[in-house]
Structure 1
Amino acid sequence: MREIFAGLPWWVKWIAVPVIALVVFGGLIASVVGFVIGLLFKLLVFVALVGGLIYVVRKFTTNSSSRGDW
Structure 2
Amino acid sequence: MAARELFAGMPWWVKWVAVPLIALVVFGGVIASVIGFLFGLLFKVLVFVALVGGLIYLVRRFMSSSSSSRSDW
Normalised-by-shorter TM-score class: over 0.9
SS in 2 for 1:19: helix
Deviation of 1:31 after TM superposition, in Å, equals 0.2
Unpaired runs of 5+ residues, structure 2, are none
Which among 8, 11, 14 is matched to residue 9 of structure 1? Answer: 11
Q: Does 1:58 align with 2:67?
A: no
Per the TM alignment, residue 68 of structure 1 is displaced from its structure 2 partner at its CA by 1.1
Q: Which amino acid aligns with 1:11?
A: W
Residue 71 of structure 2 is aligned to residue 69 of structure 1: yes
Question: How far apart, in 1, do the equivalents of 2:68 and 2:11 lie?
Answer: 77
Q: How far apart in 2 are the matches of 1:64 and 1:21?
A: 62
CA apart distance, 1:69? 1.5
Moved over 3 A (4+): none
Instruction: Tell me the SS of whatever aligns to 1:60.
Output: helix
Q: Any idea what SS the aligned residue of 1:6 has? A: coil
- Kindly tell me the number of residue pairs found equivalent between the two proteins: 70
| Structure-2-length-normalised TM-score | 0.94
Identity rate, percent: 73
